Chain A
Amino acid sequence: MTVERLDFSKSAPLTMGVELELQLVNSRDCDLTRSASDLLSQVAKVPHPGEIKPEITESMIEVSTGIHTRHGPLLAELRQIRDALLEVAARLNVGVAGGGAHPFQHWSDRRIMDAPRMRHLSQLYGYLAKQFTVFGQHVHIGCADGDDALYLMHAMSRYIPQFIALSAASPYYQGVDTAFDSSRLNAVFAFPLSGRAPFVQTWDEFNVFFDKMRGAGIVASMKDFYWDIRPKPEFGTIEIRVCDTPLTVERAAALAGYAQALARWILVERPHRISEDAYLAYTYNRFQACRFGLDGEFIDPVAGTRRSLAEEVTMTLGALAVHARELESEPALRHIEAAVHGGNDARWMREHYERSGSLTDLVWRQVERLRAEK
């Protein structure tokens, strides 16, 4: 068997792009509804930037931006794509909502999109594929080469819990309060190749690892790794995959801006010595972030510190100020700061449900929240 080398495409460092998976709900009881094909047949007629694409089920639609160097234009593009999608959705009477999971849908009702890869996934993973009807945000950060990408990936893994806590928007799942801020990630963790990447530091070493995995028949392509953060060699990026889709595009853009500023800090100042030891507390910290959100505890096993994630974010924001100025992403950081004080979307959802007592009403508010300017 000829072994193809996995080449890392060059991309402009610190560029960014965002993908958002959005929920499609009906306007009656706000349950997920199969309408991706209907929407896609119409969005082509409305001029819009970026891309609007099908996903694994008919109840999900994915939007993605182009490549950006600045937070402002990224946010503007996300708003334009959202407006185009919502214009079509309004005409077809379909609600579009953010959030990491639908609060009360039953996964057995989901139908898998009629495409070969989707069918393959469905056969391989059985009920997991349907239960995987969860909605995430992916943030891509451009890297000059594969070695940089791996360094950035390992250094960034320390901040994964922050991204989980800041974006968490799936407290309700299958009709119950899961007690988690992000229940979505529990669905992701069920997959065999989820979790973290192995500790390899150069692109050559990564190729050796990848060849072993492919040679053993464990994976066919990079797509089969469901890691929290992974290199995306075709794009020349690293991809942060732990975020729940936030309830607003403003938060989605702010998370991307935060990731970009973090990446600049990490690559310019190299504040962390990456090591396998840094991963000692990885799953513990990740659980804390999923379960308790910004109130979760964060342990840095290398520095020997123990703080709440809210404190960690605040400290990180301090370190990023200079870089945010360079990248013109202060508005993004201010948004993140406000989220630390005002709470994440999971908190907003719980507060709303406490008032209304209706998950249906909650979903409708999510639809309105995505639509709202601000």
Chain B
Amino acid sequence: MSDLFFLPDLRAAAGSLPWHALLLLGAALAGEAVNRWLRLPRMLGWIAVGAALGPHALGALDEAGLAQMAPILDVAVGVVLFELGQRVDLSWLRRNPWLLGTSLLESAAAFAAMFGVLVALEAPPLIAAVAAAIGISTAPTVVLTLARDLRAQGQVTERVLLLTALNCAYAFIAVSVLLSWAAREHALDWHAAVLHPLYLVFGSLLAAALFAAVTLLLLRLLGRRHDAQFLCVLALVAAAVWAADTLRLSTALTLLAYGVGTRVLDRQRLFVALSFGRVGAILLILLFALTAARLDWTLLAAGAVAGGVLVAARMAGKALGVFAFAPVSGLPLRKASLLALALTPMSGIAIVILHDMAKLYPQLGPSLAAIVVSAIAIMELLGPLLGHFALVRAGEAAADGE
């Protein structure tokens, strides 16, 4: 044996396989397979591999491994929200106020429908409200990735991005307000109940404005060199995620507003062509896979019925909002029905919110999670499919599935 000392010790090596690299490899391959043979969105492959390797299935990635990746995930979520914020044109709301109406109604109706279902299922009202508030948001990762991969352009695409940005903002504000109520119930004084949401909302907006101003200042100094711009913004997004976390602000709202801010303040349009390119794509794959890994799919069996009803109620609420104002906002009914479908994806953000909440108020966690997680699990698979279907059928994809 000793004369073969240079050979590796395979038994020891098996314990330290680079699972993250394998995850990335598997997700990339599965994504391509799903895209090529099934002509479906790549993200379904990423999700499947993440779920398979996660602690609730094969267990190749354990909780500790996931925790290790958490900072990268936070940056990935930050990048997505920033990019969504940047794509959104808030001045459109001024030119077409019915869109604001659509946004408020679809969010309110989705909230009411989910709240009703959850209360009927005998969930405590407060927990029902928090879960319903989480459900207001459409998954920014899904709609942004779909729009980009399909190179989709048109009214359904533009509107789903705008409505998503807005409903993510509402969802966060609503969740933060409800959490303060929860805080009061759990014997914290009323100051916290009032000041906490205010601090979250205004603190996040202020931080976003500061970051946006600094970003534009730096970009102006850098001039029009795209590589430098991209690195600079990626670093600043990571810094903003860290700042929001440290100041205990809302990461979601801060990054969304940061993206909006860079667009609003960029009067010379120096900064519009920015994209996160390949690094952004890798972050997205990890985000989808690791989010799916975190989901406890075993809850799906237990909560499937309640979750399914919840999902249906949410879709009905969103459809109501979209249809009510479709004609006056200049959207034909056919496109309105596709827009309603495109709004259904629900994933990343909901889990982030759930996680944030569990950290702050551990008392709330488990009973809420059981119902919402199964709804999320259903939407995790259904959402990308429906969104993909909607954009392709609307005739807004540059090439089917490519």
Known A28-B87, A360-B273; judge A41-B154 contact (CB<8 A). Answer: no
Determine if B269 and A93 form an interchain contact, defined as CB atoms under 8 angstroms apart.
Answer: no
Query: Cβ of A131 < 8 Å from any Cβ of B?
Result: no
Q: How far is the CB of B2 from chain A (nearest CB, A)?
A: 62
Q: How far is the CA of A33 from the CA of B158 in the complex (A)?
A: 11
Determine if A358 and B268 form an interchain contact, defined as CB atoms under 8 angstroms apart.
Answer: yes
Of the stretches B88-96, B295-303, B366-374, the one at the interface is: B88-96
Tell me the A314-344 residues at the B interface (CB within 8 Å): none
Residue of A nearest to B91 (CB): A27
Q: How far is the CA of A27 from the CA of B92 in the complex (A)?
A: 9
Instruction: Convert B86-125 into 0s and 1s, putting 1 for each residue whose CB lies closer than 8 angstroms to a CB of A.
Output: 1101011001100000000000000000000000000000
Residue of A nearest to B97 (CB): A91
Tell me the B52-110 residues at the A interface (CB within 8 Å): 86-87, 89, 91-92, 95-96
Q: How far is the CA of A37 from the CA of B154 in the complex (A)?
A: 9
Tell me the A82-128 residues at the B interface (CB within 8 Å): 88, 90-93, 109, 111, 114
Instruction: Convert B208-231 into 0s and 1s, putting 1 for each residue whose CB lies closer than 8 angstroms to a CB of A.
Output: 000000000000000010000000
Residue of A nearest to B89 (CB): A27
Query: Cβ of A301 < 8 Å from any Cβ of B?
Result: no
Q: How far is the CB of B402 from chain A (nearest CB, A)?
A: 12
Q: How far is the CB of A160 from chain B (nearest CB, A)?
A: 36
Residue of B nearest to A45 (CB): B330
Q: How far is the CA of A29 from the CA of B153 in the complex (A)?
A: 13
Query: Cβ of A135 < 8 Å from any Cβ of B?
Result: no
Query: Cβ of B155 < 8 Å from any Cβ of A?
Result: yes
Known A29-B273, A38-B154, A91-B95; judge A361-B398 contact (CB<8 A). Answer: no
Residue of B nearest to A104 (CB): B273
Q: With a CB–CB cut-off of 8 A, which chain A residues contact B332?
A: 41
Tell me the A335-361 residues at the B interface (CB within 8 Å): 356-358, 360-361
Give the 10 A-B CB pairs with smallest separation, nearest first: A29-B272, A361-B269, A93-B92, A91-B96, A90-B95, A360-B269, A34-B153, A38-B155, A91-B330, A33-B153
Q: How far is the CA of A37 from the CA of B396 in the complex (A)?
A: 10
Q: How far is the CA of A145 from the CA of B335 in the complex (A)?
A: 48
Q: With a CB–CB cut-off of 8 A, which chain B residues contact A42?
A: 330
Q: How far is the CA of A109 from the CA of B398 in the complex (A)?
A: 8
Q: How far is the CB of B254 from chain A (nearest CB, A)?
A: 21
Known A28-B87, A91-B95, A361-B268; judge A111-B273 contact (CB<8 A). Answer: no
Determine if A360 and B396 form an interchain contact, defined as CB atoms under 8 angstroms apart.
Answer: no
Known A34-B396, A90-B96; judge A28-B155 contact (CB<8 A). Answer: no
Determine if B158 and A93 form an interchain contact, defined as CB atoms under 8 angstroms apart.
Answer: yes
Query: Cβ of A364 < 8 Å from any Cβ of B?
Result: yes
Q: How far is the CA of A91 from the CA of B97 in the complex (A)?
A: 9
Q: How far is the CA of A356 from the CA of B271 in the complex (A)?
A: 12
Q: With a CB–CB cut-off of 8 A, which chain B residues contact A26?
A: 153, 158
Q: How far is the CB of B37 from chain A (nearest CB, A)?
A: 25
Q: With a CB–CB cut-off of 8 A, which chain A residues contact B268?
A: 356, 358, 361
Which A residues have a C-beta under 8 Å from some C-beta of B? 26-30, 33-35, 37-38, 41-42, 88, 90-93, 109, 111, 114, 356-358, 360-361, 364
Q: How far is the CA of A88 from the CA of B95 in the complex (A)?
A: 10
Q: How far is the CB of B322 from chain A (nearest CB, A)?
A: 15
Q: With a CB–CB cut-off of 8 A, which chain A residues contact B89?
A: 27-28, 93
Q: Which among B87, B96, B151, B272 is the interface contact of A360 at CB below 8 angstroms?
A: B272
Determine if B224 and A357 form an interchain contact, defined as CB atoms under 8 angstroms apart.
Answer: yes
29 contacts between A and B (CB under 8 A): A26-B158, A27-B91, A28-B86, A28-B263, A28-B272, A29-B273, A33-B153, A33-B154, A34-B396, A35-B153, A35-B154, A38-B335, A41-B332, A42-B330, A91-B95, A91-B330, A92-B158, A93-B89, A93-B92, A93-B95, A109-B151, A109-B398, A111-B398, A356-B268, A357-B270, A358-B270, A360-B272, A360-B273, A361-B269
Q: How far is the CB of A98 from chain B (nearest CB, A)?
A: 19
Instruction: Convert B131-163 into 0s and 1s, putting 1 for each residue whose CB lies closer than 8 angstroms to a CB of A.
Output: 000000000000000000001011100100000
Determine if B395 and A37 form an interchain contact, defined as CB atoms under 8 angstroms apart.
Answer: yes
Q: With a CB–CB cut-off of 8 A, which chain B residues contact A357?
A: 224, 270
Q: With a CB–CB cut-off of 8 A, which chain B residues contact A93?
A: 89, 92, 95-96, 158
Query: Cβ of B337 < 8 Å from any Cβ of A?
Result: no
Q: How far is the CB of A354 from chain B (nearest CB, A)?
A: 13
Residue of B nearest to A34 (CB): B153
Q: How far is the CA of A16 from the CA of B89 in the complex (A)?
A: 40
Q: How far is the CB of B315 from chain A (nearest CB, A)?
A: 24
Residue of B nearest to A26 (CB): B153
Determine if A91 and B269 form an interchain contact, defined as CB atoms under 8 angstroms apart.
Answer: no
Q: Which among B155, B224, B270 is the interface contact of A35 at CB below 8 angstroms?
A: B155
Residue of B nearest to A110 (CB): B398
Query: Cβ of B329 < 8 Å from any Cβ of A?
Result: yes
Tell me the B349-402 residues at the A interface (CB within 8 Å): 395-396, 398
Tell me the B247-302 residues at the A interface (CB within 8 Å): 263, 268-270, 272-273
Known A90-B96, A358-B270; judge A34-B158 contact (CB<8 A). Answer: no
Q: With a CB–CB cut-off of 8 A, which chain A residues contact B96?
A: 90-93
Q: How far is the CB of A174 from chain B (nearest CB, A)?
A: 15
Q: How far is the CA of A93 from the CA of B263 in the complex (A)?
A: 15
Q: Which among B86, B154, B329, B398 is the interface contact of A91 at CB below 8 angstroms?
A: B329
Residue of B nearest to A355 (CB): B268
Q: How far is the CA of A29 from the CA of B330 in the complex (A)?
A: 23
Q: How far is the CA of A356 from the CA of B396 in the complex (A)?
A: 32
B95, B96, B263 interface centre (most CB from chain A within 10 Å): B95
Q: With a CB–CB cut-off of 8 A, which chain A residues contact B95?
A: 90-91, 93
